[in-house]
Amino acid sequence: MTRRSTAKRAAIVTATAVVALGTIGTVAATAGPKPAVKHTEPTRAQIAGLFDTWNKALQTGDSEKVASLYAKDAVLLPTVSNKVRTNHAEIVDYFDKFLQSKPVGKKVQTIVDVLDRNTAIDTGIYEFTLTDKATGKKRVVEARYTYAYEKIHGKWKIVNHHSSAMPEG
């Protein structure tokens, strides 16, 4: 072989190797693991809107439907009961009694803290219009509230709910 053909052959081998490596690198880059799906945090409005879902569940009069919005091991410190509720059955029991007064809730003030894509806190002041079962007379109870939410299996659940009547009301 001549010097020129050896040099030419070396150049072809080198060029082929560069192209091959470039192709392998490109294939490796595109065939690798898919980029992670970006999980966005919920908005404050989305978290504040979870109250509307809860309030609509109250309107059904179905304590099971209301309790289904709570996590299995949720804690409920209710407005009109001194008993702390720490499981599904106790939460249902509370709403069995509370729903007899046909509560209609309305937020007065709300402050939402989105902690991350799966946890948030909604706290503030709400009022309930309650109807006396015997007389039909309505009264409004103003209360402080805190809902701690956690996304469990893709659904927002109440993990802690504290509600207490305003002390100066």
CATH number of residue 118's parent domain? 3.10.450.50
Q: Does the pLDDT of residue 59 top 80, yes or no?
A: yes
The pLDDT value given to residue 167: 87
Same domain membership, residue 125 and residue 63: yes
Same domain membership, residue 136 and residue 92: yes
Based on the structure, what is the number of domains in the chain?
A: 2
Same domain membership, residue 78 and residue 152: yes
Residue 24: partners with Cβ closer than 8 Å, 6 or more residues away: none
The pLDDT value given to residue 10: 42
The pLDDT value given to residue 168: 81
Same domain membership, residue 8 and residue 67: no
Q: For the whole model, what pTM was predicted?
A: 0.76
Residue 38 lies in a domain: no
Residue 66 lies in a domain: yes
The pLDDT value given to residue 36: 62
Q: Residue 16's domain spans which residues?
A: 1-32
Quick check: 69 and 157 in contact, CB under 8 A? yes
Residue 39 lies in a domain: no
- pLDDT tens for 61-97 read 999 999 999 999 999 999 989 999 999 999 999 999 9
Quick check: 162 and 77 in contact, CB under 8 A? yes
Quick check: 68 and 32 in contact, CB under 8 A? no
Same domain membership, residue 4 and residue 82: no
Lowest average pLDDT, out of 24-28, 112-116, 144-148, goes to 24-28
Same domain membership, residue 6 and residue 63: no
More confident residue, 25 or 53: 53
Q: Does the pLDDT of residue 13 top 70, yes or no?
A: no
Rounded Cα distance between 132 and 135, Å, is 6
Residue 37 lies in a domain: no
